[in-house]
Amino acid sequence: MPATPLFPPIQPIRHGMLEVDALHTIYWEEVGNPDGVPVLFLHGGPGAGLSPQHRRFFDPAHYRIILFDQRGAGKSTPLGEWRNNTTALLIEDIETFRVRFGVAQWLVFGGSWGSTLALAYGEAHPERCLGFILRGIFLCTAAEIDWFLHGVQWFYPELYEEFVAPIPAAERADLLGAYAARMLCDDPDVYWPAARAWSRFEGRRVFLLPQPEEASSDTLDLGVGRLESHYMANRGFFADDQLVREVGRISHLPAVIVQGRYDVICPPLSAWRLHKAWPGSRLEMIPDAGHGALELGISAALVAATEQFKRRGRFD
């Protein structure tokens, strides 16, 4: 097996900034074949933003790849802005880009929070979707949010202890509320330490096997810390179990679900529940992977899915 299954690095054929309201301006990229099959890439987080690696899951000779930094993420401005930032508005942004690029229908590709947004978009606009490639499923339920914050201590007690340490004992009964109050305030002396603690708590458990520590990124820390706490505090702006209850709106479309067996950020039960509610879907459980899209087994399965859709227009 090659060192990486990804396609070679590639630069956008064009990119830019789009003002979507008086507060938010969104960074976007178009990559690959301008006349190819359109595919929409939705990044995780919320707030994690794009990476050049995200362009590489798709054959650029076949696909017209459209990517954008969601509100408050990456190169979009203002960074970490949580106001005017809801799932419904992100869905509107996707439709704005679809119309701007003249796309009638596209393949929708998303991982982690990107899978959440992909499902929400598809259920709102099923007629605009060709199919779905989803990774590390997050349905934004109360149980998943509780796991993200508390349940993971069964695997990473040392990280959990480090995460709760900055919060006074009297506030720890509502750890999400305590962090959100700090990160969504306007005092940088308060929100920066909280955002860095949150981002570190998540980032150190993405991969199955330990990875070399990377230098902290202020862009990632603030985007992830502020927007994840904002969306989790609002349960993703969904009704209870909405994404599973409404999956019938897209169940006629082809879908492949790629899930790491040892994903401790988005545990496999959510992928299993989605698969069981979507009879035509295919679930690929990767036996030696955690949450990271660039873990070898996960990235290989994602590329295999884009290649299969290229050849057949479905997933067998």
Active-site annotation, residues: 112, 263, 291
d(CA 39, CA 180): 34
Q: Which two tokens stand for residue 310?
A: 């290229």
d(CA 306, CA 184): 38
How many Cβ atoms from other residues are within 10 Å of residue 245's Cβ? 13
User: Is the Cα dihedral 262, 267, 269, 274 positive or negative?
Assistant: negative
14 φ, ψ to 5°?
-160, 160
Task: Give the rounded distance of the alpha carbon of 140 from its chain centre.
Answer: 11
Tell me how far apart the 2 most distant CA atoms of the chain are, in Å. 58
User: Is the Cα dihedral 21, 66, 250, 276 positive or negative?
Assistant: negative
d(CA 172, CA 4): 42
d(CA 77, CA 208): 33
E strand map for the chain:
14-19, 25-32, 37-42, 63-68, 106-111, 129-135, 255-260, 282-286
d(CA 65, CA 96): 16
